[in-house]
């Protein structure tokens, strides 16, 4: 009998030791998992693995985006999903039908003035027709090559130099060389036109005041100066508000520093309005793939026509740099 009890006790102790070892393994795996960069956090590195916070190469500390719709796991069956649902992007299917194949990861700018180049690289990846998707490096090299070999007749009107950012005209010329047509340009955030274009399969570029947009995501005590620098970003998503007006729509932006996130129409309007007030430039241009522009001559003509629609955004140079040293932020 004593032998039987001892055997059972040994078995129980073995299970306890096994459970403890498994718990330690699970904790180690969890600690390792938070060291991995967030999929849409450019150049991320861990700050505090216990808290799961990250830094990127441009900021001292990743700011929490206050008031932004947060990513969450689907709610359990039978519960109300409204409170935790991820905004539905009503542009995705139409964009696919129009030939866009947008990557999931936002392109990070690789220099202090690189937001324009990063935005163009994202669109180059999204519009590419190669059998295998372009890597960010391949797309970036294509953009650089097109900037360096811009045709003489286009250079007569605009000198493209991505090293110090880009004006709206430079962006229009570059888009034409990529086979992308600027369909409209505004010096404000026209939400009716913007939402309509996105739902019809287009994308958009916005020239904003970097601090004005950043400050909408920060708590009161964390906000920086009202005015920053001109900064380019892509808009690739729309989620309608509860009213019939587009004034309460949400837009998903692809920010070359901060990654992808949703912003309110009112916040996007503010960042563009402030860009105009502080820098004399800013706005939105909507764009679509032009499947007819195949040859060098056709793309040159497209670049020329794009310049007629970029003028409302002004002559300011979009090339904001960092995020949380807010004076030179984006």
Q: What is the pLDDT of residue 13?
A: 66
Tokens of 246: 């587009």
For residue 13, the SS3 value is helix
Between CA 13 and CA 17, with CA 14 as vertex, the angle to 5 degrees is 85
Residue 70 burial by Cβ neighbours in a 10 Å radius (0-12, 13-18, 19+): exposed
Tokens of 308: 């007629």
- Order of all β-strands in the sheet with 250-255: 180-186, 283-289, 203-209, 230-239, 250-255, 259-264
DSSP codes joined into one string, 186-215:
ESS--HHHHHHHHHTT-EEEEEEEHHHHHH
Q: Which residue has the higher pLDDT, 113 or 200?
A: 200
Most confident among 3-17, 81-95, 153-167 (mean pLDDT): 153-167
Q: Which residues pair with 318 in a beta bridge?
A: 166
pLDDT digits (tens, 9 = 90+) for 41-62: 434 333 333 333 333 333 333 3
- The whole-angstrom separation of Cα 92 and Cα 102 is 9
Where do the H-state alpha helices sit in the chain? Answer: 2-33, 92-97, 115-127, 136-148, 152-155, 168-177, 191-199, 210-215, 265-279, 296-310
- The whole-angstrom separation of Cα 251 and Cα 253 is 6
Tokens of 119: 């935005």
* Helix 168-177 vs helix 136-148: crossing angle, to nearest 10: 110
Closest CA to 113 of 325, 326, 322: 322
Q: Which of 8-12, 25-29, 34-38, 187-191 has the lowest mean pLDDT?
A: 34-38
Tokens of 219: 């708590």
Model confidence band, residue 89 (pLDDT cutoffs 50, 70, 90):
very high
Tokens of 237: 């998503």
Q: Does residue 2 register a pLDDT over 60?
A: no
- The whole-angstrom separation of Cα 206 and Cα 283 is 6
Q: Which residue has the higher pLDDT, 323 or 249?
A: 249
Percent of the chain with pLDDT over 90: 53
Q: What is the pLDDT of residue 7?
A: 61
What's the pTM value of the predicted model, to 2 decimals? 0.73
DSSP structure class, residue 166: B
């Amino acid at each position: 009998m004593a032998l039987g009890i001892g055997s059972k006790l040994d078995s129980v102790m073995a299970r306890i030791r096994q459970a403890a070892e498994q718990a330690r393994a699970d904790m180690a795996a969890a600690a390792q998992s938070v060291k991995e960069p967030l999929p849409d956090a450019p150049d991320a590195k861990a700050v505090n693995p216990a808290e799961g916070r990250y830094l990127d190469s441009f900021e001292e500390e990743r700011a929490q985006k206050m008031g932004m719709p947060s990513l969450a796991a689907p709610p359990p069956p039978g519960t109300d999903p409204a409170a935790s649902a991820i905004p539905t992007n009503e542009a995705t299917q139409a964009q696919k039908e129009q030939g866009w194949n947008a990557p999931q990861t936002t392109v990070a700018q690789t220099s202090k003035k690189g937001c324009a180049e990063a935005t163009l690289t994202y669109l180059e990846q999204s519009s590419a027709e190669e059998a295998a998707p372009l890597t960010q490096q391949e797309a970036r090299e294509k953009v650089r090559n097109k900037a360096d070999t811009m045709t003489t007749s286009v250079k007569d009107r605009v000198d493209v130099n991505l090293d110090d950012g880009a004006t709206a005209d430079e962006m229009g010329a570059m888009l034409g060389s990529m086979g992308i047509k600027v369909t409209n340009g505004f010096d404000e955030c026209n939400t009716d036109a913007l939402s309509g274009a996105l739902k019809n399969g287009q994308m958009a570029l916005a020239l904003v005041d970097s601090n004005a947009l950043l400050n909408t995501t920060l708590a009161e005590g964390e906000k920086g100066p009202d005015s920053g620098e001109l900064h380019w970003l892509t808009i690739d998503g729309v989620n309608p508000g509860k009213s019939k007006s587009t004034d309460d729509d949400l837009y998903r932006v692809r920010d070359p520093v901060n990654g992808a996130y949703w912003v309110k129409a009112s916040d996007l309007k503010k960042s563009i309005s402030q860009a105009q007030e502080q820098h004399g430039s800013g706005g939105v241009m909507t764009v679509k793939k032009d499947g007819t522009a195949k040859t060098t001559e056709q793309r040159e003509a497209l670049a020329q026509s794009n310049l007629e629609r970029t003028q409302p955004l002004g002559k300011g140079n979009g090339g904001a740099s960092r995020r949380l040293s807010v004076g030179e932020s984006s």
